[in-house]
Amino acid sequence: MSPLKKNFPHARILAIESSCDETAAAVLENGRVLLSSVVASQIDLHQQYGGVFPEVASRQHVRTIHAVVEQTLQQAHMNLENIDAIAVTRGPGLAGSLVVGVNMAKGMAMGSRLPLIGVNHLEGHIYSAWLYPSETPVPPPAPQFPLLALLVSGGHTELNLMRDHLQYERLGSTLDDAAGEAFDKVARLIGLPYPGGPSVQNAAAYGSKEAFHFPRAWMEGSSDFSFSGLKTSVLRTVRDLESQGKPLPVNDLAAGFQDAVVEVLFKKTMLAARKYNVKNIVVAGGVSANQALREAFLNQSEFTVFIPPLKYCTDNAAMIAAAGYYRFVHDKVDTLEFDVLPNWPLS
């Protein structure tokens, strides 16, 4: 890895995120101190479709991105003259949505002559564990290497070993559905609204996880994940109940499903953490907002676990700024010619 830029220990990064259905911007200092963060959500627009409608998402990004960036700079009491570099999500994500953010960042970088950094969205989720707001009286400790990062979101579920900044060794990933994708699909199966993660969690709070014991795909000796069998088991259970004319015990189904997902994520991560003798565990991505998953990790005492605050678990630009900072200080900047990468893997 290239040496740190000694002249930029307190570099300020303006970041833009538009990989899916959130239009976001943020200003971050020193890789950790969040000066401002604005997120314009599109959830209300996409609920009628039961998921994100790509064309609607990209059009909405066009409508809101200028205002979001302007508001972000105003909240930080800054203009581009106070910024050292611009970071933007390059991928993975929806191609049309990514293009809006990347073109905005390119235009700003060209006009201001600031360095431009294309950031992997998944990398951003991991670096959300480094964030804290500027008003925090005492800076919290940062994750220590080597660490194990469990990345759980709507499109990705994977375990990555990090021995230093920007170094990723993928130990395992999902062989089919990602955890967040499974939450959305099961929510639809049992009649819960989009987005599935919060809906299932809320229903599970009033159900019994003992009412249904759904299968766990352990795949002994592997750090990979699989949730398609679990989803199919829920489907068969729902069809069986419906064929008998019984009302669906939605809360119990949600609780049983959630318990199966959380148990697999938690136990496989702990096994890998012991195997590689890591110092810390980072749990990040949209599914890291799930309360049962957070409790599973925070209630154990074997490893120090870093889980971002709820507002940084879902898509935001603060995490892109954090990853962008470490790329900037390690001289990993990009030219204006780069294109979006909708299927960009992390490692």
CATH 3.90.1150.10 fits 147-307, yes or no: no
β-bridge mates for residue 223, sequence order: none
Q: Is 307 exposed, middle or buried (0-12, 13-18, 19+ CB in 10 A)?
A: buried
| SS3 category, 141 | coil
Best CATH choice for the domain 12-131+312-329 from the list 3.30.420.40, 1.10.3720.10, 3.40.50.970, 3.30.450.70: 3.30.420.40
Q: Where are the domains of the chain?
A: 12-131+312-329, 147-307
Q: What b/e readout covers 247-272, taking b as 16+ CB neighbours within 10 angstroms?
A: eebbbbbbbbbbbbbbbbbbebbbeb
Q: Is 113 exposed, middle or buried (0-12, 13-18, 19+ CB in 10 A)?
A: exposed
Residue 117 near residue 327 (C-beta atoms within 8 A): yes
- For the chain, 347 residues long, give each residue's pLDDT as a single digit of tens: 444 554 566 899 999 999 988 899 999 999 999 999 999 976 666 676 676 767 788 888 899 999 999 999 999 999 999 999 999 999 999 999 999 999 999 999 999 999 999 999 999 999 999 999 999 999 999 999 999 999 998 889 999 999 999 999 999 999 999 999 999 999 999 999 988 999 999 999 999 999 999 999 999 999 999 999 999 999 999 999 999 998 999 999 999 999 999 999 999 999 999 999 999 999 999 999 999 999 999 999 999 999 999 999 999 999 999 999 999 999 999 999 999 999 999 97
The pLDDT value given to residue 9: 62
Please determine whether the domains at 12-131+312-329 and 147-307 fall in the same fold group of CATH. yes
| SS3 category, 14 | strand
Hunting for tokens 């299927």 — which residue is that?
A: 343
Residue 100 near residue 89 (C-beta atoms within 8 A): no
Q: State how far the Cα of 282 lies from the Cα of 305, in Å rounded to an integer.
A: 6
